[in-house]
Structure 1
């Protein structure tokens, strides 16, 4: 009967899964294990690597969402700044805008 390593590691934090993966790889690299033990280590290592990848993918998605929210917030602030009272009375440099005929003297 195959062992369900994915279920076993499903609740591990990234750091714990990473540390256990490093330990598993070290044990495999040392050699000396039987074929069955090596297969068990390989299966557990694969489950641990998958768990680490899940954490990293989630972190990447959170980072991208935060960056998108930041950009959206900056764009929203820039748009709101253009709509501030008096903004229409200024040019791009912030100087008072002139309209044709402003120089006319009556």
Structure 2
């Protein structure tokens, strides 16, 4: 299992914020910036996947009688 898959959502977001800060500083050599950017994209995909998984879990709620019921959320 890769390191990214072991990260929690919060850890991935924290690392992603660090990546953004490094890139925004602008004093990173081009080759390093590309590597950092790729890492950021991987972290972004991981966060998206984790959020999508949680969203799918939350689309069903358990009724009082123990039956699952679809739960629709309004998207912005």
Using the size of structure 1 for normalisation, the TM-score is 0.56
Alignment size in residue pairs:
67
> Matches of 2:40 and 2:55 in 1, distance apart?
22
- Structure 2: state its 5+ residue gaps: 70-76
Per the alignment, residue 24 of structure 1 pairs with 19
Per the alignment, residue 43 of structure 1 pairs with 38
CA RMSD of aligned residues (A): 2.3
Q: Partner of 1:10: helix, strand, or coil?
A: helix
Per the alignment, residue 89 of structure 1 pairs with none
The verdict on how the C-alpha distance between 1:31 and 1:74 changes in structure 2, with shifts beyond 3 A counting, is: closer
Higher RCO (CA 8 Å, separation ≥ 6 residues): 2
